[in-house]
Every structure is written in C-alpha cells, then in structure tokens.
C-alpha cells in the first residue's frame, strides 16, 4: 500500500471527504495517483528542508493539507485561510480527531485577511487558494512580507498564467529563488518551491 493509499484508507480522511458542500480537494481527491504521490512527496521533501514549527496555508477547502501534515509533523501550528465558511467544519473535524497539528482558521478572501496577519516565525507556506493572478500575487507577497523562508505554490501547470505573479515576486524580491525538487516532472498540477535558502 502506498502512503497516499494509506492516507485515503483512514477514518478521518472519509470524514473530510464527506464534506460534500466543498467540491474541491485536489491534494488527495480528484487527482491521478501519480500526481497525488508526487505532490505528497514534494511536500514531505519541502517540509524536511524547512522543519517548520508554524505553517501558513491559503486554500483550506476540505483540510487535506492539514490532514497530511498530521502524519508528517508534530506540535506544529497551521494558520489556514479560505473564503468559504464551510471549511470551518473540516478544521473542526481535524482539531477534534488529531493532535499533531493545531489548526487556526481565518475566513474571508486573502486580499482582505492576509494584510492584517502578523504571526512571526512561520517557516513554510503552501499557496493553493485563488488561482487568478491578483490573488496569487497577494498570497505570495504576504508570504514574503512575513519572511517565510520556504514557499510552495501549487497548480503552475494547471494555470500557466501563475507564472506572471511568481515572476514578479522573484524580480521584486531577489533573495527568493525557485529551487529544484525531484517530483515536478511527475506532478501534472505543477507545484513549485521558492526559498531564501539557496
């Protein structure tokens, strides 16, 4: 059994998947098996580099990123943002059924919520919220403002226009660079990693 198959066999996964009012859940759901494995392995790789105690996420949705974290880290705080109040139910399930990750949910569009967020010491960000250029740039910009040393951005292959906000970030903040990870070629969605550590 692969690690992804193991994750999808657990009772908590089925509780999260049953949040049927939320249609997306692409980290573990609606993904071909190779892409799911590649994305999970990329996140394992990036988290091993970052070794964070605090993590930021945009795009809570059904909470699959937090669920994955609960098997990869321990004693970590996750600050997760989503414009859908329905994601709160997933966060409640996660906080109720696991203790490895303490999850703090912020509801509203990130262009309104992130400018007022000032948590110090965040070591890793998973940017997988709105995929229009303005939202992506906003989420990346505030990750940079917070000094997050490792920032992963999903769906570069699915939404090629995301190359523009990423390019702007790399131009305006040259202490960040895209760094290689060995799972990009087999990831049909295309998650990439930016870092100040190169």
- In this prediction, residue 27 carries a pLDDT of 86
CB proximity list for 88: less than 8 A, separation 6 or greater: 105, 107
* pLDDT at residue 21 in the model: 67
How much is the pLDDT for 60? 95
Q: What does pTM read for this prediction?
A: 0.96
Q: What is the pLDDT of residue 150?
A: 98
| pLDDT at residue number 114 | 98
Structural fold of domain 3-195:
Rossmann fold (3.40.50)
Distances (CA, A) of 81 to 7, 10, 163: 23, 25, 22
Asked if 58 and 128 touch (Cβ cutoff 8 Å), the reply is: yes
Amino acid 36: pLDDT: 93
Q: Count how many residues are written for the chain.
A: 198
pLDDT for position 19: 81
Strand partners, 79: 56, 104
CA dihedral 171, 180, 76, 66 (to 10 degrees): 100
Q: Which of 18, 64, 20, 10 is nearest to 39 (CA)?
A: 64
Tokens 């109040």 identify what position? 85
Euclidean distance between CA atoms 68 and 118, whole angstroms: 25
| Ranges of residues in the chain whose predicted pLDDT is under 50 | none
């Amino acid at each position: 059994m692969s690690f992804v198959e193991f994750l999808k066999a657990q009772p908590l996964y089925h509780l999260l998947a049953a949040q049927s009012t939320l249609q997306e859940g692409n980290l573990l759901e609606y993904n071909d098996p190779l892409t799911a494995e590649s994305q999970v392995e990329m996140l394992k790789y990036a988290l091993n580099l970052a070794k964070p105690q605090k993590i930021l996420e945009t795009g809570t949705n059904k909470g699959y990123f937090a669920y994955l974290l609960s098997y990869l880290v321990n004693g970590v705080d996750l600050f997760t943002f989503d414009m859908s109040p329905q994601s709160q139910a997933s966060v409640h399930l996660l906080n109720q059924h696991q203790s490895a990750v303490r999850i703090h949910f912020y509801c509203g569009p990130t262009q309104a919520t992130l400018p007022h967020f000032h948590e110090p010491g965040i070591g890793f960000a998973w940017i997988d919220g709105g995929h229009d250029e303005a939202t992506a740039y906003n989420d990346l910009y505030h990750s940079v403002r917070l000094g997050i040393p490792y920032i992963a951005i999903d769906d570069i292959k699915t939404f090629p226009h995301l190359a523009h906000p990423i390019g702007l970030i790399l131009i305006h903040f040259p202490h960040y660079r895209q760094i290689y990870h060995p799972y990009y070629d087999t990831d049909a969605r295309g998650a990439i990693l930016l870092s100040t550590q190169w």
